[in-house]
Structure 1
Amino acid sequence: MNRRPTLLAALALTAAAALSLSACGSDDSSKGKGNDKIAGADTGSEAPVSPSPSVSDSAGRPKITFPSDAKNVFEFEKTGDATKDAALADSALSVNSVDEAIFEGSVDTKALGFYNADKALSASITYALRYINKSDTWVGETRYFDYKVTLSGDNKAYVTYCSDESKSYIKDKKTGKVDNTPTTANAYVLYNTGLTRNADGVWQTANIVSDRGAKACQP
């Protein structure tokens, strides 16, 4: 079983937004993987890179740390729009914050509530606790790709992307056993997310819907 054995709780975006993002995911599939890759929104690099899990800055953003045997890779390039790029960067940090809670064995981490809000925060806490209560964690590498971002006014954004969990696996903290089961279609997940920019300028993930095994994300 790959490292996300159950779906992240599906939460309702507005109907129009959900349909729009799903359409983006379908378009990505028709183009093939590798197109529209987005990476390191604040690195200036044109090549796909992975924002560091330990990103922090002078604005009081919490430091996020990962163990040496786990890694998230976010494949996206700058869009040329500063607002979209900021939303994409914070979307990646939202993902990292949930995984950090799993690694730390606690949902009281600073980053979890910093990058997530509302229904997405509640779902993230529930999701992380599934690991924590079973004394599970994960190891390996998870890849995030085929990003699309749409703005709605000054403080709302919708981001869709895929994940590839074929190289990441559940690990039992008590025994150290890693569940290296074969990869299936369920290792690929389509995410539709809604973000809201708060008063401090942080793009918090507020809503999220996931579709495990989505055809749009299959290799």
Structure 2
Amino acid sequence: MNRRPTLLAALTLTAAAALTLSACGSDDSPSSDKDTIAGADTGGKPSVSPRPSETAAGDRPEIAFPSDAKNVFEGGKTGDATKDAVLADSALSINAVDEAIFEGSTGTKALGYYNTEKALSSSITYVQGYIDDNDTWTGVTRYFSRKVTLSGDSQAYVRYCSDESKSYIKNKKTGKVDKSAATADSYVLYNAKLAKNSAGVWQTTDIVSNRGDKACQP
């Protein structure tokens, strides 16, 4: 089952091409085929979460998940302190989006703390899609093959895969869980761009994805 009926975020064609080229500095070459964000055509303009540009790193918001849902991140230690910090904040960016889904709100503190610019606006649209459908998710999503490419002191790219074969859409009203069998589309390739803000937080600024990419298949 694909936990996410739509993908996390999308860029304009020009920006997507630039992101893909920049990410090519990693060991693997990302696919040129990119999915567009899910929910991008939904109506309404939910309010944007606050941004942490002037927030001290010590004030990082806590992120809480329900007991029946979990994200597992593999390969968080590279031996390079900067790359490890990028991977840690990249994971928190993902968790922040999921927390917003669980809370049923696009105004959670963490959503705008770890995501900004196009990634934030796309994430808000994505979360709003869950809210409009009265859905959440349950199970375990695994993130693997995470690789970092640094670009100067304050910019980085992260390429990673997700395995959604053991996470499922759950309707909040009925409690019904869609446990359809996993397919190739249960695996997604992501290329994310991150920037380090004045508080030392590596915020996700852009992200593109390709559901069913061969690079992420088991």
User: By the TM > 0.5 criterion, same fold?
Assistant: yes
Partner SS, residue 94 of structure 1: helix
TM-fit CA distance, 1:7: 2.2
TM-score of the pair, normalised by structure 1: 0.82
Letter in 1 for 2:17: A
Q: CA offsets, 1:78-129, max 9 Å, x none?
A: 1121111111100000000000000000011000000000000000000011
1:196 equivalenced with 2:198 (yes/no) = no
Name the amino acid aligned to 1:6: T
Mapping 1:151-190, distance limit 5 Å: 151-190=150-189
Asked if the contact 1:94/1:115 (under 8 Å) is kept, the reply is: yes
Asked if the contact 2:25–2:149 (Cα under 8 Å) also holds between the matched residues in 1, the reply is no
CA contact (8 A) 2:26 2:147 kept: yes
* Structure 1 unmatched ranges of 5 or more: 29-56
Number of residues of Structure 1 aligned to a counterpart in Structure 2 = 192
Indicate the SS of the match to 1:147: strand
Cα–Cα, structure 1 residues 190 and 25, in superposed 2: closer, same or farther, change >3 Å? farther
**Residue 61 of structure 2 aligns to a residue in which SS?**
coil
Relative contact order higher in (CA < 8 Å, ≥ 6 apart): 2
Distance 2:75 2:120 in 1: 24
- Maintained 8 Å contact 2:76/2:87: no
Task: Kindly report which structure 2 residues correspond to 1:33-112, keeping only aligned pairs within 5 A, or say none.
Answer: 59-112=58-111
Under a length normalisation based on structure 2, what TM-score does the superposition of the two structures give? 0.83
**Which secondary structure state, in structure 2, belongs to the residue aligned with residue 186 of structure 1?**
helix
Please name the residue that 2:20 is paired with: 18
Contact 1:18 1:192 in 2 (8 A): yes
Residue 9 of structure 1 and its aligned partner are, at CA, apart by: 3.0
* C-alpha distance 95-8 of structure 1, shift in aligned 2 (>3 A): same
- In the other structure, the counterpart of 1:126 is 125
1:9 corresponding residue in structure 2: 9
Unmatched tracts of structure 2, length 5 or more: 31-55
RMSD: 2.1
